[in-house]
Structure formats: structure tokens, C-alpha cells
Amino acid sequence: MEVTIIFPVLNERLRLEKGIDRTVEYIRQQMKIPCRLMIIDNGSTDETPQIAEKLCEKYQEVSYVRITKRGVGAAFRKGIALNQSEIVGYMDIDLSTDIKHLGQVIHLFEVCPELEYINGTRFSKDSNTRGRKWYRRITSQGLLWLLQAVFRMKCTDAVCGFTFVRAKTARRLASACSKENGWFYTIEFLLRAERMGFRILDLPVDWQEDYDTTVRIWKTVKNYLIQIIKLRKRFWEEDRLAADKGTKRKDGKKQGF
């Protein structure tokens, strides 16, 4: 078994080297399977490309890909397309989710062959979240409530920044998802996994707030609301089309008798 970890980055000169150094140190000391680290740059305008190239020279596990489209969704989708490992996932470069959970993920995939998808969650009763700002907690909980109300989402978090999937399943989900480039792509990815009936594990994690985050809260909230409406409409249209096809098949059978 081998795992590829995708790190979407945009102007991460302050955190990129530290995040990769910590991850490589962990996988070399703690992991018993090969691991690849794929830095996917969404068009950085700072020193991120130069730092990434130096990291590729420093570590044989690290590769660097630059794309023109911005957004975590675009980076995750590109990483899935390039992946050659049995397991593929993505983590935030700030390592807000404790790196120790990476070993836990691999163990779970090894001992549970029926498991297809591991979703990190900050909101399980067994999770340990530290330093969370009150307004970010409100927006995250509000988003979770909306997803549960609109889509009946079963998982307890959708944007933890810690997701791992078997490669075949990841490719199927990427084919089914929209071409949304932003953060909402990862939410659609999870919702489609539930919708398609894949075995998903909601994994409680230790999570530390990153105070230097580049996420813009109100812009993100507005985008979430727009994307929720669009995705609900898309799911409704897909359900209607499936129902129409089912009716036609039944009618065809009746006509055949």
C-alpha cells in the first residue's frame, strides 16, 4: 500500500517549508508504507514556487505541481488525476489537524478493506479542538447545520482539511462532482460519497486553530450559501432524471409483455 498526500497551497511562503518538514519527519519515523507528498500550487505570486522546488530537491518524497486555477477544489481534483497510490487525500499545509492521525488513517484502511473514505471531524464528542475563535466556531456550526438540514448529511464535519480516500473511489467521486474550484468542492465530494453509498468513517481529530489563516470568513460564508443552493438544485435535477429513467424502464417492461 502507498499513500499520496496532497497539499493545496497559495502564497504559503511562511508555512510551506515548516509543514513539509514536519510531515516528512513524521512519515520517515512513524510510517511503514511509502508516502508521497504532492504540493499543488494554485498560482502563488510570492516565493512559494521557489521554496517548493527546494523542498523537492531536499526530499525525494516531495513533488511540486503548479496550476493556473485557484482554489482547493482545483488542487484536489488535479491531485486525484495525477495520483498513482492506492490511497489519496489532502491536508492543510498548516497541519491544523495533528499529523499523528495520518498513521491512524493508514492503519484503518489496512484493517478495514470495506472502508472507502475517512473524513476528519472537529465536532465529534471525541475530538479535541483548541484555540477556535468564537466567530469561526459559529460559522462552522452554521454551515454544518445547513448541510444537515438541506442534504441530510450524516458526517459531523465537512471542512476539517483532513480527508483520505481509496484511489478508485476518489476517481469515481471526482467524475461525479462539479468543476467547482473553491473549498465547496470538498464539501460536494463528501456529500456525493454519502449519496453514492460509500463506507465513510467520521474520524475524531485533535485540531489547533491557525491564527495566520488566509481564509476570509464572510466571503467564504457567502460562497457557501450560493454553492449550497446550486448543489441542491443539481441533486434535485439528477434525482428527477433518475426517476424519469426508472419510469421509462418500467414502461418498457410493461410494453414487452
> Over the chain (257 residues), what is each successive 10-residue block's mean pLDDT?
95 95 96 94 94 97 94 95 97 93 95 96 88 70 90 93 96 95 93 97 89 62 86 93 75 45
At residue 158, what are phi and psi to the nearest 5 degrees? -130, -15
Residue 228 C-alpha cell reads as: 449550497
pLDDT at 255: 37
- Element (H or E) spanning 14, and its range? none
- Element (H or E) spanning 179, and its range? none
Task: DSSP letter for 15, please.
Answer: T
Taking alpha carbons only, the member of 207, 195, 80, 182 closest to residue 147 is 195
For residue 201, the cross-strand partners are: 118
For residue 239, the cross-strand partners are: none
b (16+ CB within 10 A) / e for 26-56: bbeeeeeeebbbbbbbbebeeebbebbebbb
131: left (phi over 0), alpha (psi -120 to 50) or beta: left
Domain boundaries, the chain: 3-245
Residue 83 to residue 89: CA distance in whole angstroms: 10
CA distances from 48 to 11, 43, 89, 222 (A): 6, 9, 21, 28
- Element (H or E) spanning 115, and its range? none
pLDDT at 215: 56
Residue 7 to residue 48: CA distance in whole angstroms: 12
Residue 114 to residue 192: CA distance in whole angstroms: 18
Classify residue 78 as exposed, middle or buried by CB count within 10 Å of its CB (0-12, 13-18, 19+).
Answer: buried
Specify the residue for cell string 485533535: 206
CATH 3.90.550.10 fits 3-245, yes or no: yes
Do the strands 128-130 and 62-66 form a parallel or antiparallel pair, or are they unpaired?
Answer: unpaired
pLDDT at 125: 87
pLDDT at 254: 42
Residue 179 to residue 165: CA distance in whole angstroms: 19
